[in-house]
Structures are given as C-alpha cells and as structure tokens.
Amino acid sequence: MHKATATAAALALPMGLVLAATAAHAGASDGPQDTKVLHAQLQPMNETNATGTSTVELRGTTMTVQIHATGLAPGLPHAQHLHVGGENICPTGLKADENGDGFVSTVEGTPYYGPEAVSLTAEGGIGAEHKLDMENMPVADENGKLEYERTFEVSEDIAKRVLHGKAVVVQRGIGAEDAREYDFNAAGPSELDGSLPAQATHPASCGALAAAPERGMETGLGGTSGTPVSWMIGLGAALVTVAGAVTVAGRHLSRTRA
C-alpha cells in the first residue's frame, strides 16, 4: 500500500468512529428511557393561602413526584392527586362554583382539570380508587408546610398524558389555619363521600404541569449538555477533508515518480 493511501485510511478510521459515536449518542438521547421533567406552579383555590411547586420526573413508566407547599391547613391530611382528561387548566376565582355556595368543589373543578388519575399518597396505593385514602395522605406540619416525594409506577397511558403536559396537580383541604380538624359546619358534607366534611375534599391549590426547559440549551449545544455532538460532527468533516487532500497529494506524487 502506498504511503498516501495508508495515511488516508488512517484518517478515515477515526472519522468513522467519531460519526458512529455521534449517531449512537443521538440515538441514546432520543431513547424511551430518558428522564423527562415537568413542573407545576401551585396556585391557591377557594381563597386559601396555599401555594407551592411540584416537579414530576418520568422515566418510562417510573414516576417521581415532588411537592413543596405552604399555607395549607396545619396538622391536617391533604388529599392530593394528578388529574387528567380535562382542559388541563385550573379554575380561577369562583368561576366554577355552579351551586353558588361560595366554594369550588372537586366535582365542580373536574371539567377544568379532569378526574383523578393518580392518588399522591404518602404510602399505600396510588390508583384513583385511593383518592379518599385520608389515612395515607401527607400531613401538613404545624406551620402549614407540606413536603412530599414518592416514586412509583404508572400505566403507559398516564405516562404519555403527563409527558405531553396533559396533567394537573391538585391539593385538597381548606380548613382554617387555627383548626385542628375539618369541620362539617363550615361547608357541609363532601359530595364525594358524605362521611367526610366538604372542607377535606375542596381544592386548596392547583397547578398544570408543563415541560421543564431542556438543560444544555444555553450552552449552544442544542440541549446535549453531556457530549459536544456539534464539535464531533465538525471534527468528522475536517478529517474527511484532510483524508481527501492526502489522497490527491499521494496520487500526484505517484505520477511524478512515474
């Protein structure tokens, strides 16, 4: 083999490896097991002071939910859920108060945020059938602060809906700040379960989930913060150019010697 041809082959080999690595990385970044992150800003409902944030991390059908909330009824359990199937929005003010009792109930808000899909219990089941499992719902501390984190499996349908921003986080429980139990006298019995006070099931805060910004977008690497794909592609193109130049030079040298 001529020296020029051998040089070109040597240059072409790393170029091929670079392009192969680039393709592999691109394929990996688009894989179904990538972790997707969504956020929700929780806003008060029913004239509460409840606010907070929620983060949902989704890897396939494995979901991790975090909630940081304040202004909730202190010392009381707060039923909380992921809702899907509505308009993916939270009702504002008393717009959804159809019966005119001065409260927006969970049922009245359902057309906006949809029915319960996942019960965000501290332990136990997470299906919609556990939506009123008050014994396993997280409890706000004496200052009305609630910290929640749990990882669990969901169905592919729910994972897909959440991934596409079609889910809403709703927290319930609107007891007075100095109350130590939900009161039947304040708003009557719950329309979901007559054995519970309506205060326990009326929404306290609500926030629609939306995709978080891709990390790495500000670096100029198109969101690929781990591997500089653009740089590798540029290197591959440069190697192709050099290899071609060496080959041409080798042919020219061979004709001169002949």
163 closest CA partner among 36, 29, 31: 36
Q: Return the bridge partners of 129, or none.
A: none
pLDDT at 117 over 80: yes
Mean pLDDT over residues 52-61, rounded?
97
The C-alpha atoms of residue 225 and residue 154 are separated, in whole angstroms, by 29
User: In the prediction, which pLDDT does 195 show?
Assistant: 96
pLDDT at 33: 63
Judge whether residue 251 has pLDDT over 80: no
What mean pLDDT value characterizes the chain?
Answer: 79
The answer to which of 42-56, 60-74, 154-168, 217-231 has the lowest mean pLDDT is 217-231
What pLDDT sits at residue 213? 67
C-alpha 31/C-alpha 28 separation (Å) is 5
Range name among 197-206, 216-225, 248-257 with the lowest pLDDT average: 216-225
Per-residue pLDDT band for 214 (boundaries 50, 70, 90) equals: low
- The mean pLDDT value for 222-236 works out to 39
With a pLDDT cut of 70, the percent of the chain lying above it is 68
Task: Please give the full DSSP string across the chain, using - where no structure is assigned.
Answer: --HHHHHHHHHHHHHHHHHHHHHHHHHHHTSTT-EEEEEEEEEE-TT---EEEEEEEEETTEEEEEEEEESSPTTSB--EEEE-SS-S----TTTT-TT-SS---HHHHHHHH-SEEEE--SSS--SGGGTT-GGGS-B--TTS-EEEEEEEE--HHHHHHHHTT--EEEEE----TT-SS--HHHH-B-SS-TTSBHHHHSEEEEEE-EEPPPTTGGGTSTT--SS-HHHHHHHHHHHHHHHHHHHHHHHHHHHHH-
Average confidence (pLDDT) over 57-62: 97
Residue with the larger pLDDT of the pair 23 and 174: 174
Indicate whether 118 pLDDT > 50: yes
C-alpha to C-alpha distance for 216 and 238, rounded to whole angstroms: 25
Residue 109 sits at the vertex; the CA angle it makes with 106 and 110, to the nearest 5 degrees, is: 85
pLDDT of residue 246: 39
pLDDT-derived band of residue 240, with 50, 70 and 90 as boundaries? very low
Q: What mean pLDDT is predicted for residues 142-168?
A: 96
Q: Quick one: pLDDT band at residue 245, thresholds 50, 70, 90? A: very low
Residue 7 pLDDT more than 50?
no
pLDDT above 70: residue 138: yes
